[in-house]
């Protein structure tokens, strides 16, 4: 049968991998959106974030770690209170409205994996949509291909946005900084009074290693 011939030629493997990638992206979405991003709990108060001792010499000693005025916990360095989540988040990056959760110390690596898988799914879906198009200058052609054409345009736009988002996050990770620190550098005391522009930067390789591993 045709199905057996397609299986022998390996043509059924690609749709199967695509479906698995879509399933993986959905599972990653729920995982990142539902997991604890690194909420600071009162019983876990500490003077500094774990692993930041190697850079404290570059940060002025007169900078005091302050107590949050909202949840009343002592904020570790690089933590920030999120008004939407009503919690202080360790190594706060940003609050993602699509996930309805903060991106912080615990779920940031999975967030990057999710973006990468989602980008692959979109590019692959765009390839499927483009391969189904055949171009003719006629009214009937537009009627028969309008769905594929609109799908391809939407996928193309989302792919560009997602690619820019992923590249920007990877750049910030390679510098060992967060979106919040990058956007609000002038308002953060431990950065504004530091001798270095970014006291947490330890080189691209070590920054990536510490983040993902």
d(CA 50, CA 25): 30
Among candidate residues 98, 115, 89, the one with its CA nearest the CA of residue 173: 115
Q: Please report which residue ranges of the chain form alpha helices under DSSP H.
A: 2-8, 13-34, 108-131, 139-174, 179-183, 189-192, 204-212
Q: Are 51 and 200 in contact (CB under 8 A)?
A: no
d(CA 23, CA 67): 42
Q: Is 96 a catalytic residue?
A: yes
- Selected catalytic residue, list 24, 82, 96, 102: 96
The DSSP symbol for 188 reads -
d(CA 57, CA 93): 23
Q: CA dihedral defined by 180, 186, 188, 192, rounded to 10 degrees?
A: 130
d(CA 176, CA 77): 14
Q: Which residues are known catalytic residues?
A: 96
């Amino acid at each position: 049968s045709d199905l057996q011939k397609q299986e022998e030629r390996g043509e059924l493997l690609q749709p199967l991998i695509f479906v698995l990638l879509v399933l993986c992206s959905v599972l990653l979405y729920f995982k990142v959106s539902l997991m604890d991003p690194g909420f600071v709990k009162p019983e876990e108060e500490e003077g500094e974030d774990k692993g930041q001792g190697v850079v404290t010499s570059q940060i002025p000693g007169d900078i005091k770690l302050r107590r949050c005025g909202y949840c009343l916990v002592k904020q570790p360095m690089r933590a920030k209170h999120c008004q939407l989540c009503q919690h202080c988040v360790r190594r706060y990056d940003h609050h993602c409205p699509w996930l309805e959760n903060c991106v912080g110390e615990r779920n940031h690596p999975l967030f990057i994996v999710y973006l990468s898988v989602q980008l692959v799914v979109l590019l692959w879906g765009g390839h499927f949509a483009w391969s189904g198009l055949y171009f003719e200058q006629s009214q009937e052609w537009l009627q028969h291909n309008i769905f594929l054409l609109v799908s391809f345009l939407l996928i193309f736009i989302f792919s560009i946005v997602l690619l820019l988002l992923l590249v920007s996050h990877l750049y910030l990770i390679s510098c060992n900084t967060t979106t919040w620190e990058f956007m609000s550098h002038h308002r953060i005391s431990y950065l504004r009074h530091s001798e270095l522009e970014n006291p947490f930067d330890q080189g691209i390789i070590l920054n990536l290693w510490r983040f993902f591993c």
